[in-house]
Amino acid sequence: GVLSNHDHRHRFAMMLGRLSRCVLARTSSVVTNVRPRIIEATPQLSIRSLCNPTLSYSQRMDKTGRPISPHLMIYRLPLIAWSSVTVRITGLIASAGFFVVGGATLYKGGGWVADTAQDLDMTTQRWTGRDFGSIPTFVAKFSIAYLMAYQWLGSARHMVWDLTAMGFTNQKMLQSAYAMFGASAVISLALAMYSLPPSSKSEKQG
Amino acid sequence: FFSSRTMFFAAFRRGVQIPTAVRAFRAGKPAHGGTSETENLRTMLFKSDHSSAGMHIYHKLNFALIGLGPAALVLSPSALNYPVDIALGIIIPLHSHIGGNDVITDYAHKITKAKAFENSLRIGLFGVTVVTFVGLLKLNLQGPGVTETLKSFWRSKKADK
């Protein structure tokens, strides 16, 4: 038979009631503390799937199953974008480096990393059995200097953006990207060619 | 402490608003007001970029690191560098942790949609941070310190006594 109007309105009112309860339960901490159980105790409610306001936009779009059109795969990133990506890459590699230093210290003792680093050529020769001359030290110095310098310059640029909002034009950003890549390369090359004398405090902190 | 019937009528009277999720660009500032109290510590530890407190800490730490880097370089072999080393040993793991959470949020979803993958990555990152923290602490307290260790790549071999 035909459903009467009352039936529709009744159902709608019940649905609205459940929806409002769950909306209020999620948005009001008082109600949440008092009765969080209404939703969980009745899992067969289909309204429950609507009552999930913590789903982000991306998650809801995922649920539709639709594919994303290609964007990063087909777009050639400008240098400004690469300068930002490189900040992240240098940060990741530096984090990995600090993890290795920390782990090696825990495993081998407080002075091991410093001792090995001071004598890197000999150490690589011992580990690999081949003599590379002074190349390992140069590569290590250049890499560490480049990572630190680029990361520092990128963070400084970001701080300038945050605090002064200067340089938010394409021109300025492109210039800053060139400056960052160039300055890091120059600084790292200069530092890598430079050596320090042996540590004067050989027995510091045992 | 309001009966469900009361809530229903109250809401029905003023008109129910179905929450439409506004797209929140920053994970640290979600559209729906953030996490509840019980979740806050867990979010800050394991999902740091989803907690606004974590992101505020992150920004302040960045400023601190920008100052501490050159300071450490300049002060290095002297004992004045000791507080700088300690500060670096604390701030660098925290910075790496929150930054790493950022990276996981950005890329883990693109590899697999499974939540277990992302969660296991976050737990792994927490372990990495703990190891880094304790290792750098040991380096500072029982070794030559963070700056001196990095500088030792530049030092030539100690002459035999």
Structure confidence by residue, pLDDT tens digits, B120-137: 999 999 999 999 999 999
Higher confidence at residue B160 or residue A145?
A145
Q: Tokens 């029905």 identify what position?
A: B12
* Cβ atoms of A192 and A142 closer than 8 Å: yes
For A205, left (φ over 0), alpha (ψ -120 to 50), or beta?
A: left
Q: For the whole model, what pTM was predicted?
A: 0.73
B88: Cβ contacts below 8 Å, ≥ 6 apart: B65, B68, B72, B136, B146, B147
User: pLDDT by residue (tens digit) across A78-137?
Assistant: 999 999 999 999 999 999 999 999 999 999 988 899 988 888 888 888 888 888 888 889
Between helix B115-142 and helix B82-111 the angle, nearest 10°, is: 170
pLDDT at B26 over 90: no
How many residue contacts between A and B have a Cβ separation below 8 Å? 193
Any idea of the CA torsion for A145, A146, A150, A152, to the nearest 10 degrees?
-10
Q: Determine the average pLDDT of the residues in B46-66.
A: 85
Q: Tokens 């019937």 identify what position?
A: B5
A148 CB within 8 Å of a chain B CB: yes
User: For residue A146, what pLDDT band results from cuts at 50, 70 and 90?
Assistant: very high
Q: Among A153, A186, A162, which Cα is nearest to A83's?
A: A153
CA distance B49 to B64: 19
Interface TM-score (ipTM) > 0.90:
no
A2: Cβ contacts below 8 Å, ≥ 6 apart: none
User: pLDDT by residue (tens digit) across A30-44?
Assistant: 444 444 444 434 434
A184 CB within 8 Å of a chain B CB: no
Q: Which of A46-60, A79-93, B47-61 is predicted least confidently?
A: A46-60
- Chain B nearest C-alpha distance from A185 (Å): 17
* Cβ atoms of A125 and A131 closer than 8 Å: yes
User: pLDDT by residue (tens digit) across A151-198?
Assistant: 999 999 999 998 898 888 999 999 999 999 999 999 999 999 988 887
Is there a contact between B139 and A194 if contact means CB atoms under 8 Å apart?
no
Any idea of the CA torsion for B129, B130, B134, B137, to the nearest 10 degrees?
40
Amino acid A5: pLDDT? 57
